[in-house]
Structure 1
Amino acid sequence: MSYFNDRIFGVLMIVLAVAYGWAASQFPVPFGGTEVVGPETFPHLLAVVLAISSLYLVVRPDPDNAWPWSRTGIELIIALVVLALYAMSLEPLGFIVSTALAVGTLCWRMGARPVKAYVTGLVAGTVVFLIFNFALDLSLPLGLLSLLEVG
């Protein structure tokens, strides 16, 4: 029966990877359309990694895994809800605020003190935003921070 659990999960994750990759291919083409690295590149890479990892679960399932319906299972459900809310909040709140809240909440759920967890989230969101915006020249949504722009 435990082989069956991994295979079901693997197939569901392959479906998710395909849907995620397809959604990324629907992003608007940047002006000029000749860039090798565009807004869909990172999501496509994530979709490929997810698909390969999921295929491994289908082909080589773990013989003695059990669905974690204890505290661990509840924490996994909380993590999924946080990630779904993160995806929905990216545009309205912006990358930095959404990332700070998501990373902070996940760190807190893993045992960090709330202040340290949310400071970690804020630092992580800011650093990744700066890397994407200035080093990679890929824009991330500003959301609430766009209200601070002058001009």
Structure 2
Amino acid sequence: MTLNDRIFGVLMIVLAVAYGWGASQLPEPFGGSEGVGPDTFPLLLAVVLSLAGLYMVVQPDPDNAWPWSRTGIELIIAVVVLVLYAMLLQPLGFIFSTILVVGTLCWRMGSAPIRAFVTATIAGVVVFLLFGFALDLSLPLGVLSFMEVG
């Protein structure tokens, strides 16, 4: 069953290359590229993802099998939810799309729906504030764009 890991590893490498290329297409911030820009974190994720994929290709698990049971269905749901996240990020904004995605994934992992979405709301707002104030990086506001200053 080592072929499963190798196939998945190759898919991860392809995804990392596409993700890294997409990150490299982000516009440079005003004033040049001094230090951390909007492409830094996505490029770092692409490198980590490609290294993990390469590891799976080179060193596959000999006892691995595809999870065709309920776990496989949950993985498919998670992938669909994450693709929807990427599609909803600009129109809805970071906070609302993160609430929907994190809340849904927490709920699918067994959390009560109210608790899942309260956790998602806290996480979305805290990460938004962290990026905006601590890291000085802007995230899409989407439907909250009326709050933009200036």
For normalisation by structure 2, the TM-score amounts to 0.97
| Letter paired with 2:7 | I
Percentage of pairs with the same residue: 75
Q: CA distance change for structure 1 residues 148 and 138 in 2, over 3 Å: closer, same or farther?
A: closer
What whole-Å deviation, never above 9, does each CA across 1:77-102 have from its counterpart, x for those lacking one? Answer: 00000000001111000000000110
Q: Distance in 1 between matches of 2:128 and 2:148?
A: 16
Deviation at 1:33, TM superposition (A): 1.3
Q: Distance in 2 between matches of 1:9 and 1:75?
A: 17
Q: Distance in 2 between matches of 1:101 and 1:89?
A: 10
Deviation at 1:4, TM superposition (A): 0.6
| Letter paired with 1:96 | I
3-state SS of paired residue (2:30): coil
Partner of 2:110: 111
Deviation at 1:148, TM superposition (A): 4.2
Deviation at 1:145, TM superposition (A): 1.0
Partner of 2:73: 74
Q: Distance in 2 between matches of 1:46 and 1:150?
A: 30
Q: How many residues align?
A: 150
Partner of 1:64: 63
Q: Distance in 2 between matches of 1:149 and 1:14?
A: 37
* 1:54 maps to 2:53: yes
Q: Distance in 2 between matches of 1:136 and 1:11?
A: 33
Q: CA distance change for structure 1 residues 79 and 52 in 2, over 3 Å: closer, same or farther?
A: same
For normalisation by structure 1, the TM-score amounts to 0.96
Q: Distance in 1 between matches of 2:149 and 2:18?
A: 38
Q: Indicate the RMSD between aligned Cα atoms, in angstroms.
A: 1.1
What whole-Å deviation, never above 9, does each CA across 1:117-149 have from its counterpart, x for those lacking one? Answer: 011111000000000000100000001111345
Q: Distance in 2 between matches of 1:59 and 1:18?
A: 18
Partner of 1:86: 85
Q: Distance in 2 between matches of 1:100 and 1:34?
A: 31
Q: Which runs of 5+ in 1 are unaligned?
A: none
Q: Distance in 2 between matches of 1:50 and 1:15?
A: 10
Q: Distance in 2 between matches of 1:84 and 1:34?
A: 29
| Letter paired with 2:51 | I
3-state SS of paired residue (2:145): helix
Q: Distance in 1 between matches of 2:149 and 2:38?
A: 26
**Which 4+ residue blocks in structure 1 deviate beyond 3 angstroms?**
148-151
Q: Distance in 1 between matches of 2:76 and 2:68?
A: 10
Q: Which runs of 5+ in 2 are unaligned?
A: none
